[in-house]
Structure 1
Amino acid sequence: MRNTPEAWRKSSYSGGSGGNCLEVAVGHPTAVPVRDSKNPRGPKLMLRPEAWSAFVQAVAAQEVRT
């Protein structure tokens, strides 16, 4: 998995400060890698695509609180 900026994306709602955000890598065939934007060289959480999809749907439905 590449660690380059173009391989990772974050929400446009995150603002320009660069911190306190989840970043998601694109293009991985069997998993959705997620990392903390404050620590891009730190550990990555590898989620099954179905789990990531369920998480995104829950956030969109406001079922997840921050």
Structure 2
Amino acid sequence: MNTMTIAHMAGILTSAIQAADRLELDALKGPALADVDLDLVRDIKRDCSTCISLLDQFGRERR
């Protein structure tokens, strides 16, 4: 079975944040996304950041 490390999970979440950043920038350049969608993108970024923080905390506690 392939196990995913904490660092790998944090890397995936970081990639998700970067993709959300690009979506947000594109939306701000033009009317590509409605305000509700922008809020959703920002929520995703916040949730991913929270998950990264929790993973870091979990990793420190496991040591």
Q: TM-score, normalised by structure 2?
A: 0.32
Q: Which has the higher strand share?
A: 1
Q: Which has the larger radius of gyration?
A: 2
Q: Which has the higher helix share?
A: 2
